[in-house]
């Protein structure tokens, strides 16, 4: 009897334990399900309401994603990486990827994971770490190998240290950020100095050139870094070409996130002040909140023989700047007013000499520039830009269409991507100069910074605008471009009066010239302490610091991407030489590797400058139209009788002369 009672009791206890276990399991499942829903909502909100492309700080976002990145890099396991999103994600995926909630969470987080996975593969972390630990581990290209073999045959590199190269990048725009990412990939210790706080806001538009993976094109490189996995707000070309358009701040925020996540040291709110030299080599100086004086200049130009390195001053009072960044390679990507370029004692001046695409003939003008007018329209009640006129196929009219009716108007480019609605008019020289003179009479300091609210502008300001802007001309042009023309000058002015995003004027008329630096960089030298070898470093310019980009949107940023292999090759050459200490004591090494790199960088910039000057001459001076890329620029003249464009034969352009081109084109037309 006792045994029976005991068995029943044991059985009852087992039932209770089973029920308790089931309840605990149900509770755990409910807790996991709640955690999964919370984690999935957070991940979805992060992606769909992605703060990176709105107002979030790329550095703060990178910090929040750092645990996920670490797991993905070290373990290459998407499920474990997802579990690192936070406590809710960890509880959700505690049972593994087979748990339905975790599986759903992994799916929701796919864009972020895919982005980081692509970036991880592009950076190639194991290879990068190997490069940092073993100088010479890089496999140089055939071009690099030739340089390395020549230097090794004449230079002693045995016994050099195997430290990683130190790269200081000045400027956190697209040119600087891309350089930082590539240098980091090649094993360098990279520090990026940016005077802003990485809260980017520039709303200008870039047309990104297409390309397949493996090609040195903008879209291909961005694809490799995971840009398109994040579903960025890019705009496809409405005519069906593979070009996509993106705003500058979208691109900058992505690149800043990628650089910070990959491990680039990002220094915000610091302005580059100059260079100096200490016992260990060259040092970049920067200061929080701006430099207190003109910066640290190098030696006086008269004290340097032609072709010799630029000798940096000793760092006797570097502490006054607050920030010192040692470097072997200095990259100046700090824009058209570059302080790095000034520190290198390089000039920056407008260019007016250009050639045919094959370089067979050169032409020099006294000056070459083009006048442009940018109009930014208000959104309608539904938050939309003004509707565009379209052809029978539903495609907006081409940019040259208004020029058939308006002599002196070259092209009108449309950038109607909400919330930005911009038209950009390019003028031929005679009309452009006339319009600019009237504009500068009213606004001698340049474009006004309007900020009128919904209540409108004061009457005096409107009257001033009527005198400054060619309103009748603009009404005729917009009647060609827009579906609904403006009934009056006041209606047009009213459409331009809205709160100004990012401090931009709603109408600005200005002359655009193409400027370029006198060289692509310099070799820098540190004074040699007694009994020690001299130390050399290489300084390079990129982006607008090297050559300004025209209003043909995206030229500059696309050229910056094309120039990235030159920087990678430089670091690989130094790796093949035993590391950056190959620059210590060998001026020949410094000059050789700098010369090869600068030649490649300068050649690309010169092609971009030439392309722009070629277009300005034939459009602003000759009155033709120019379309096409670097090696395929085509010149057209308008055929007014049927509103078509007529391609000028290539031999008509051989003389790079307006009259000769027009005569040759007419002769060719008569013979057809």
Q: How far is 669 from 238, CA to CA, in rounded Å?
A: 32
CATH code of the domain containing 597: 3.50.50.60
Q: Is the pLDDT of residue 381 over 60?
A: yes
Q: What percent of the chain has pLDDT over 70?
A: 75
Range 137-160 average pLDDT: 52
DSSP 8-state class, residue 618: I
Tokens of 494: 């009213």
Ramachandran sector of residue 187 (left: φ over 0; alpha: ψ -120 to 50; beta: rest): left
Highest mean pLDDT among 333-337, 388-392, 633-637, 646-650: 333-337
Q: Lowest mean pLDDT of 120-134, 400-414, 481-495, 600-614, name the range.
A: 120-134
> Does any domain span residue 378?
yes
Q: Which of 68, 56, 151, 59 is nearest to 106 (CA)?
A: 68
Q: Lowest mean pLDDT of 293-307, 336-350, 398-412, 504-518, name the range.
A: 293-307
Q: How many domains does the chain have?
A: 3
40 contacts 82 by C-beta, under 8 angstroms: no
H helices of 512-634, where? 555-562, 564-576, 587-616
Q: How far is 95 from 86, CA to CA, in rounded Å?
A: 15
> Does any domain span residue 421?
yes
553 contacts 205 by C-beta, under 8 angstroms: yes
- Are both 324 and 423 inside the same structural domain? no
Long-range contacts of 446-451 (CB under 8 A, 24+ apart): 446/508, 446/510, 447/505, 447/507, 447/508, 447/509, 447/510, 448/505, 449/500, 449/503, 449/505, 450/497, 450/500, 450/505, 450/506, 450/507, 451/499, 451/500
Tens-digit pLDDT profile for residues 25-60: 544 455 667 777 777 777 766 555 456 677 678 888
Reduced to 3 states (helix: H, G, I; strand: E, B; else coil), residue 413 is strand
Reduced to 3 states (helix: H, G, I; strand: E, B; else coil), residue 290 is coil
353 forms beta bridges with 364
Q: How far is 155 from 259, CA to CA, in rounded Å?
A: 35
- Are both 394 and 492 inside the same structural domain? yes
- pLDDT recorded at residue 652: 76
> Does any domain span residue 648?
yes
Contacts of 175 (CB under 8 A, 6+ apart): 333, 542, 543, 544, 545, 556, 557, 560
H helices then E strands: how many in the chain? Answer: 20, 24
Confidence of residue 215 (pLDDT cuts 50, 70, 90): low
| CA count, 13 A, side-chain hemisphere, 94 | 13
Q: Which of 22, 17, 25 is nearest to 94 (CA)?
A: 25
> Does any domain span residue 228?
no
- Are both 412 and 340 inside the same structural domain? no
- pLDDT recorded at residue 444: 83
Q: Is the pLDDT of residue 464 over 50?
A: yes
- Are both 649 and 551 inside the same structural domain? no
Reduced to 3 states (helix: H, G, I; strand: E, B; else coil), residue 266 is strand
H helices of 134-217, where? 142-154, 174-185
Which residue spans within 377-418 are E strands per DSSP?
Answer: 409-417
- pLDDT recorded at residue 629: 65
523 forms beta bridges with 538
- Are both 472 and 381 inside the same structural domain? yes
**Sign of the dihedral defined by the CA atoms of residues 59, 60, 66, 68, in that order:** negative
Residue where a domain stops, chosen among 504, 524, 554: 504
| CA count, 13 A, side-chain hemisphere, 474 | 28
Confidence of residue 648 (pLDDT cuts 50, 70, 90): confident
- pLDDT recorded at residue 605: 93
Residue where a domain stops, chosen among 477, 504, 531: 504
Q: Burial, 458: exposed, middle or buried (Cβ in 10 Å; 0-12, 13-18, 19+)?
A: exposed
- Are both 190 and 312 inside the same structural domain? yes
- Range(s) of the domain holding residue 535: 163-194+269-350+514-604
Reduced to 3 states (helix: H, G, I; strand: E, B; else coil), residue 215 is coil
- pLDDT recorded at residue 109: 80
328 contacts 167 by C-beta, under 8 angstroms: yes
- Are both 456 and 522 inside the same structural domain? no
pTM: 0.86
Q: Is the pLDDT of residue 548 over 50?
A: yes
> Does any domain span residue 76?
no
- Are both 373 and 460 inside the same structural domain? yes
Tokens of 659: 């009259």
H helices of 228-271, where? 248-262
Residue where a domain stops, chosen among 443, 473, 504: 504
394 contacts 487 by C-beta, under 8 angstroms: no
- pLDDT recorded at residue 300: 39
Q: Which of 373, 370, 347, 352 is nearest to 362 (CA)?
A: 352
Tokens of 383: 């938050």
Q: Lowest mean pLDDT of 40-54, 424-438, 557-571, name the range.
A: 40-54
Range 173-193 average pLDDT: 95
Please give the residue that has the higher pLDDT: either 199 or 368: 368
Q: How far is 164 from 594, CA to CA, in rounded Å?
A: 18
> Does any domain span residue 131?
no
654 contacts 361 by C-beta, under 8 angstroms: yes
Mean pLDDT of the chain: 79
Q: If residue 22 lies in a helix (H) or strand (E), which one and from where to where?
A: helix 2-48
- Are both 544 and 524 inside the same structural domain? yes
Which residue spans within 473-551 are E strands per DSSP?
Answer: 507-513, 515-517, 521-526, 535-541
Contacts of 65 (CB under 8 A, 6+ apart): 112, 116, 261
> Does any domain span residue 520?
yes
Confidence of residue 299 (pLDDT cuts 50, 70, 90): very low
Confidence of residue 7 (pLDDT cuts 50, 70, 90): low
- pLDDT recorded at residue 578: 76
Reduced to 3 states (helix: H, G, I; strand: E, B; else coil), residue 277 is strand
- Are both 485 and 405 inside the same structural domain? yes
- Are both 292 and 180 inside the same structural domain? yes
How large is the angle between the packed helices 110-123 and 174-185, nearest 10 degrees? 60
Q: How far is 201 from 192, CA to CA, in rounded Å?
A: 19
Range 250-258 average pLDDT: 93
> Does any domain span residue 140?
no
Return the ∠ at Cα 338 (arms to 332 and 340), rounded to 5°.
45
Tens-digit pLDDT profile for residues 584-620: 778 888 898 999 999 999 999 998 999 899 999 999 9
Confidence of residue 22 (pLDDT cuts 50, 70, 90): very low
Q: Which of 375, 309, 313 is nearest to 594 (CA)?
A: 309
- Are both 345 and 383 inside the same structural domain? no
- pLDDT recorded at residue 521: 95
Confidence of residue 463 (pLDDT cuts 50, 70, 90): confident
CA 185 to chain centre: 18
Please give the residue that has the higher pLDDT: either 570 or 465: 570
């Amino acid at each position: 009897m006792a045994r029976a009672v005991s068995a029943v009791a044991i059985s009852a206890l087992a039932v209770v334990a089973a029920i308790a276990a089931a309840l605990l399991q149900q509770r755990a499942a409910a807790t996991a399900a709640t955690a999964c829903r919370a984690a999935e909502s957070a991940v979805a909100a992060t992606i769909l309401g992605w703060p990176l492309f709105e107002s979030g700080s790329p550095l703060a976002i990178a910090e929040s994603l750092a645990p996920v990145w670490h797991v993905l890099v070290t373990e290459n396991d998407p499920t474990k990486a997802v579990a690192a999103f936070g406590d809710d994600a960890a509880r959700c995926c505690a049972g593994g990827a087979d748990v339905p909630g975790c599986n759903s969470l992994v799916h929701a987080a796919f864009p972020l994971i895919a982005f980081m996975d692509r970036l991880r593969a592009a950076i190639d972390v194991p290879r990068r770490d190997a490069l940092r630990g073993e100088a010479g581990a890089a496999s140089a290209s055939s071009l690099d190998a030739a340089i390395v073999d020549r230097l090794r045959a004449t230079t002693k590199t045995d016994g050099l240290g195997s430290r990683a190269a130190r790269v200081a990048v000045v400027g956190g725009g697209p040119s600087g950020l891309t350089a930082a990412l590539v240098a980091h990939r090649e094993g360098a210790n990279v520090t990026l100095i940016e005077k802003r706080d990485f809260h980017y806001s520039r709303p200008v538009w870039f047309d990104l050139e297409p390309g397949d993976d493996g090609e040195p094109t903008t879209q291909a490189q961005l694809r490799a870094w995971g840009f398109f996995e994040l579903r960025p707000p890019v705009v496809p070309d409405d005519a069906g070409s593979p070009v996509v358009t993106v705003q500058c701040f979208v691109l900058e925020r992505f690149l800043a996130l990628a650089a910070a996540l990959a491990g680039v040291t990002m220094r915000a709110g610091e302005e580059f002040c100059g260079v100096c030299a200490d016992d260990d080599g060259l040092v970049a100086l920067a200061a929080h909140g701006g430099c207190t004086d003109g910066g640290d200049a190098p030696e006086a130009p008269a004290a340097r023989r032609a072709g010799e390195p630029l000798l940096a001053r000793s760092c006797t009072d570097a502490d006054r700047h607050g920030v010192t960044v040692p470097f072997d390679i200095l990259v100046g990507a700090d824009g058209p007013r570059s302080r790095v370029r000034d520190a290198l004692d390089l000039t920056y001046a407008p260019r007016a000499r250009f050639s045919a695409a094959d370089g067979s003939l050169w032409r020099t003008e006294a000056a070459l520039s083009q006048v442009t007018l940018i109009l930014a329209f208000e959104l309608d009640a539904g938050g939309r830009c003004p509707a565009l006129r379209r052809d029978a196929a539903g495609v907006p009219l081409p940019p040259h269409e208004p020029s058939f009716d308006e002599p002196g108007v070259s092209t009108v480019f449309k950038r109607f991507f909400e919330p930005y609605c911009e038209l950009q008019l390019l003028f031929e020289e005679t009309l452009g100069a006339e319009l600019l003179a009237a504009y500068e009479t009213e606004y001698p300091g340049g474009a006004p910074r309007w900020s009128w609210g919904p209540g409108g502008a004061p009457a005096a300001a409107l009257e001033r605008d009527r005198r400054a802007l060619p309103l009748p001309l603009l009404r005729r042009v917009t009647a060609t471009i827009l579906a609904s023309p403006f009934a009056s000058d006041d209606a047009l002015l009213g459409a331009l009066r809205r709160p100004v995003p990012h401090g931009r004027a709603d109408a600005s008329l200005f002359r655009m010239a193409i400027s370029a630096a006198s060289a692509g960089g310099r070799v820098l030298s540190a004074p040699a302490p007694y009994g020690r070898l001299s130390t050399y470093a290489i300084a390079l310019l990129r982006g607008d610091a090297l050559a300004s980009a025209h209003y043909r949107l995206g030229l500059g940023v696309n050229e910056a991407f094309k120039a990235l292999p030159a920087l990678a090759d430089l670091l690989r050459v130094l790796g093949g030489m035993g590391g950056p200490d190959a620059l210590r004591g060998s001026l020949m090494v410094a000059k050789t590797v700098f010369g090869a790199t600068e030649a490649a960088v300068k050649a690309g910039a010169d092609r971009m400058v030439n392309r722009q000057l070629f277009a300005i001459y034939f459009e602003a001076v000759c009155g033709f139209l120019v379309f096409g890329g670097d090696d395929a620029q085509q010149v057209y003249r308008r055929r007014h009788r049927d509103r078509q464009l007529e391609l000028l034969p290539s031999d008509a352009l051989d003389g790079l002369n307006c009259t000769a081109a027009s005569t040759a084109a007419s002769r060719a037309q008569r013979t057809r």
